[in-house]
Amino acid sequence: MKFNANSLPNDPEQLKQMLIELQQRMDDELADKDNKLAEKDAAYQLLLERYNLKLTKEYGKKSEQMPGADEVFNEVELVLDEHDKQLLVDSNSNTTTKTKPKRKPLPAALPRKEVVVDIDKSDKVCDCCQSPLHKMGESSSETLEFVPAHINVIKTIRPKYACRQCERNGVESVVKTAIMPATPIPKSIATASLLSQIISCKYQFGLPLYRQETLFSDIGLELSRQTMSSWILRSAQLLEPLYRRLKEILLAEPVIFADETPLKVIKAEKATSYMWVYCCGSDSASEKTNIVLYDYHNSRAAQCAIDFLDGYQGYMHVDGYKAYGLTEAKLVACLAHIRRKFVDAKKIQAKKTTGKVDVALNLIGKLYGIEQRIKGKSVEDKFNIRQSHAKPIVKELHSWLIKHKDKIPPKSKLGEAISYSLNQFDKFQRYLEDGRLSIDNNRAERAIKPFVIGRKAWLFSNTCNGAHASAILYSLVETAKANGLVVHDYISKCLQHIAEQPNNLEPLLPWNIERG
């Protein structure tokens, strides 16, 4: 800043006041520049965090247990106070030792074919004295042989009977013949077994119809994907009453799980549709009621869940999607989603360093450790153990979140994790209320995963009707798997039974079905 010496006042007091004002103005300008630099630096750090996290997700290890690569981190997030250090000291490190894998014996139920590999007859003499050798025992080993699938043509013959006496007397005879056996799709060449094969290949193993068309062609059967598509739609219509019966049972359960995932439907009104999933029980077939139901909608609106739940007021495990909050269910938030936010923050922390994010992950790890120990216990035991062991840790975690809420930049990954956790915390700690509840929503995430994997193979649905049919068939496939059933056998039995007795669905419930 330049001054004209002639314009400066001669009075010392005026000159002093002018210098004070000039100094204040310069201080304000420097402070403003410092603030702008701090804002730019914070924005740079946030962009760098997201860039590094993106790199880690794209090219790094996918496991949430891994800390990530050497990246720039925020020192504020790294500095630990004495209380944080004590929380980390209190953690119990569990070390696991790897066991040498052992080959399991091949199932005894598999058919076996014996192949004897013997030495030549000329070698069955002693090399020393030329005396004949005797068989002292044998060694054996087993290998697996694959026999390609084959198609059988079932020719149904129905003898016709008429009266010769009436024919001799000139009376028209009544021809008698057996009634044609019921089939899922009348006048079709498809049996329940063939339909089940097509359904299980697509919805269990993610094999699109055009690939199945090639497989059938390789074994000598020309079967177009258009024909198979029409069979799938018809099969879904047949199985829909069973789907509705399973829905009634699901909504009578005190605890359910829910999730949703996008789906592209070419001829839908909106570009992106959604497949919602609702389930109860667990992945273990030991549970009495294991049900997985998919529900297709060309929307992610809350009304989709409201319509499906139809006034359901029990507990429902969900993620943080706000639409579930408009239902009448008592929501239980997912600790796995909370943990995932902190894992993202951990991934951008430098290797071999310990920061505040480790404190949160340590507390969450303790809660999961308790869940691991109470697995298989009664509902009452789970409740009591959680109250005595998990509840104090939940309170400690909540106090830690509140304490660091204003200390961590809210737009940083750790700040976002803390904000998300506090928003979900009231719904999360609800799992302490009842021993039937789970600590997370992983049941629903595992239930929807087969659909997500299959979607990578067939990419999209052509019509809304096709997506609705997929929802029904995926539901029965995943419900069969959850109950330890062979999917092909279960679908085949259901189709044949409904063709014969459409109004008798109780024998088809997974826990009522005849096995074997």
| Position 363 in a domain | yes
Instruction: Give the whole-angstrom CA distance, residue 73 versus residue 140.
Output: 60
Tally of structural domains, the chain: 1
| Position 422 in a domain | yes
Q: Across residues 188-200, what is the average pLDDT?
A: 94
Chain center to CA of 508: 25
Bridge-based pairing state of the strands 160-161 and 291-297: unpaired
Instruction: Specify whether the CB–CB gap between 448 and 261 falls below 8 A.
Output: yes
Instruction: Specify whether the CB–CB gap between 162 and 466 falls below 8 A.
Output: no
Mean pLDDT value across the chain: 85
> Is the entire prediction scored with pTM above 0.85?
no
Instruction: Give the whole-angstrom CA distance, residue 269 versus residue 118.
Output: 70
Band of residue 426 on the pLDDT scale cut at 50, 70, 90: very high
| Position 370 in a domain | yes
What is the pLDDT, as a whole number, of residue 276? 95
Radius of gyration for the chain, computed over Cα atoms and rounded to the nearest angstrom: 35
What is the pLDDT, as a whole number, of residue 75? 42
| Position 342 in a domain | yes
Which is more confident, 223 or 28? Answer: 223
| Position 365 in a domain | yes
| Position 101 in a domain | no
Q: Which of 82-86, 135-139, 413-417, 485-489 has the lowest mean pLDDT?
A: 82-86
Instruction: Give the whole-angstrom CA distance, residue 432 versus residue 388.
Output: 10
| Position 407 in a domain | yes
What is the pLDDT, as a whole number, of residue 433? 93
| Position 402 in a domain | yes
Q: Which of 37-51, 327-341, 403-417 has the lowest mean pLDDT?
A: 37-51
* Eight-class DSSP state of 267: T
Q: Which of 429, 447, 428 is nearest to 281 (CA)?
A: 447
Residues spanned by the domain of 410: 334-433
Band of residue 67 on the pLDDT scale cut at 50, 70, 90: very low
